[in-house]
């Protein structure tokens, strides 16, 4: 089977790298028909939240998409067009090209722009023109696709209910992690090393970092415990301000790091953290960081949610705590600190679960099966 990975996707973004690699490992022939319309996914998402109305952007759209369609049409025949993340706006042009070529379109929706900007991050006002624009971008892009991929059944339920779409159109494909970057390394324990808790990410509301700050405050009496927050984003200033206000002394803040440096910090960690926010989206997703830390053989604590329960088992391959509950986060950390055998057992089981179901190879096989049996 020949697959054309199509669009203005960020070819460095983990989701796209994982799927392209996984499909190739599964023995499928993958070609890329790609145009660099955006610097990266963050730039694309910023444009989406701003409404996409500016002369420079309009010119790039006008000049990019005809070339992209032409490049696709002049290629040898493919069996499937695959539109990568983020592809809501690519889908309109992808459908034209795919119809001219007579091939089906698979769309990796990955997330809802409408939900992310209006309800989760709250940077677009509900009911505004921009919000309606994002709603219809999500809805129409899915309608145009023959198959839509999302990461959890909870996320699929949201799309079906919110955008009034047929459930038969959707398939679940876990996010996974790139096992060429995230894989177990030996931790060299040094004398006086702290019991290190790591969280990394873009400081968006679903991460629930204010609750982790309060959990850190609760654990201050234990001098062995130390937290390290890596990254920056929407809530960075709020989180740092809260830590100062509470006079928390056991958190180190580190700005964004490239993957090769990030993994060195994960190696040092005794426990890694997932998400804990009280947004609706937090209950529907399992974030990259959970898969990445499992891939590195680290025990993970994350919030109990419908999405988490689809893939993870509390006390077996991860440890759950309650959403938006600092005390529950603190209790889970202490439980792992006091029980090294439990830490080891969870880390080993989490790694095996990742290898079996969320590494690029099994994900590629699963997508391949979906494409082969799409009818």
Per-residue pLDDT tens for 65-98? 999 999 999 988 899 999 999 899 999 999 999 9
pLDDT exceeds 90 at position 36: no
CATH topology of domain 2-176+359-372: Rossmann fold (3.40.50)
The SS3 of residue 36 is coil
User: So what's the pLDDT on residue 39?
Assistant: 65
pLDDT exceeds 60 at position 52: no
pLDDT tens digits, 165-187: 999 999 999 999 999 999 999 98
User: So what's the pLDDT on residue 250?
Assistant: 98
Q: In sequence order, which residues have a C-beta less than 8 Å from that of residue 85 and are 6 or more positions away?
A: 9, 10, 13, 15, 16, 41, 108, 109, 110, 111
User: So what's the pLDDT on residue 191?
Assistant: 77
Residue pointed to by tokens 């028909």: 33
**Domain 195-357 superfamily per CATH:** Glycogen Phosphorylase B; (3.40.50.2000)
Same fold for the domain at 2-176+359-372 and the one at 195-357?
Answer: yes
pLDDT exceeds 60 at position 49: no
Q: In this structure, what token pair is assigned to residue 95?
A: 């459908």
Q: In this structure, what token pair is assigned to residue 287?
A: 């974030």
Q: Would you kindly state where each structural domain of the chain is located, as residue ranges?
A: 2-176+359-372, 195-357
pLDDT exceeds 90 at position 38: no
Residue pointed to by tokens 């059944």: 153
CA-to-CA dists, residue 151 to 97, 124, 190, angstroms? 26, 24, 39
User: So what's the pLDDT on residue 322?
Assistant: 96
Query: What burial class does residue 51 get, using C-beta atoms within 10 Å of its C-beta: 0-12 exposed, 13-18 middle, 19+ buried?
Result: middle
pLDDT tens digits, 243-265: 999 999 999 999 988 888 999 99
pLDDT exceeds 80 at position 327: yes
Q: What is the C-alpha to C-alpha distance for residues 91 and 111, in angstroms, rounded to an integer?
A: 14
pLDDT tier at 42, thresholds 50, 70, 90: low
Residue pointed to by tokens 């204010």: 210
pLDDT tier at 131, thresholds 50, 70, 90: very high
Residue pointed to by tokens 């999405």: 307
User: So what's the pLDDT on residue 114?
Assistant: 95
Is pTM, for the whole model, over 0.85? yes
pLDDT exceeds 70 at position 153: yes
Mean pLDDT of the chain: 93
| CA-closest candidate to residue 219, choices 194, 185, 193 | 194
User: So what's the pLDDT on residue 101?
Assistant: 94
User: So what's the pLDDT on residue 60?
Assistant: 72
- Contact (CB, 8 A) for 234 and 204: yes
Helix locations, 148-235, DSSP H: 153-163, 209-218
User: So what's the pLDDT on residue 374?
Assistant: 72
């Amino acid at each position: 089977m020949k697959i054309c990975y199509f669009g203005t996707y960020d070819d460095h973004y983990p989701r796209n790298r994982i799927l392209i690699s996984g499909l190739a490992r599964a023995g499928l022939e993958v070609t890329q028909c790609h145009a660099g319309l955006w610097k990266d996914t963050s730039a694309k998402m910023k444009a989406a939240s701003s409404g996409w109305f500016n002369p420079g952007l309009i010119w790039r759209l006008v000049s990019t998409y005809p070339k992209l369609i032409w490049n696709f049409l002049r290629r040898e025949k493919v069996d499937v067009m695959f539109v990568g993340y983020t592809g809501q706006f690519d889908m309109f042009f992808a459908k034209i090209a795919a119809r001219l070529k007579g091939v089906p379109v698979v769309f990796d929706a990955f997330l809802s722009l409408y939900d992310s900007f209006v309800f989760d991050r709250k940077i677009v006002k509900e009911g505004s023109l921009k919000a309606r624009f994002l709603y219809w971008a999500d809805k129409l892009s899915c309608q145009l696709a023959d198959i839509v991929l999302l990461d959890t059944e909870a996320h699929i339920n949201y799309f079906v209910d919110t955008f009034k779409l047929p459930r038969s159109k959707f398939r679940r494909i876990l996010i996974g992690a790139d096992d060429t970057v995230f894989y177990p390394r030996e931790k060299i324990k040094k004398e006086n090393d702290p019991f290190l808790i790591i969280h990394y990410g873009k400081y968006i509301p679903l991460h629930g970092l204010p609750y982790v700050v309060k959990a850190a405050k609760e654990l201050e009496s234990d001098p062995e415990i130390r937290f390290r927050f890596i990254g920056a984003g929407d809530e960075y200033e709020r989180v740092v301000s809260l830590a100062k206000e509470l006079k928390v002394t056991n958190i180190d803040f580190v700005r964004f790091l490239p993957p090769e440096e990030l993994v060195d910090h994960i190696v040092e960690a005794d426990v890694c953290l997932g998400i804990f926010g009280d947004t609706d989206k937090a209950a529907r997703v399992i974030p990259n960081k959970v898969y990445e830390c499992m891939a590195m053989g680290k025990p993970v604590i994350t919030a109990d949610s419908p999405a988490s329960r689809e893939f993870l088992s509390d006390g077996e391959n991860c440890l759950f705590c309650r959403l938006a509950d600092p005390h529950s986060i603190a209790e889970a950390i202490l439980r792992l600190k006091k029980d090294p055998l439990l830490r080891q057992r969870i880390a080993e089981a989490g790694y095996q679960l990742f290898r079996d179901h969320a590494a690029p190879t099994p994900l590629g096989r699963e997508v391949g099966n979906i494409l082969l049996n799409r009818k």
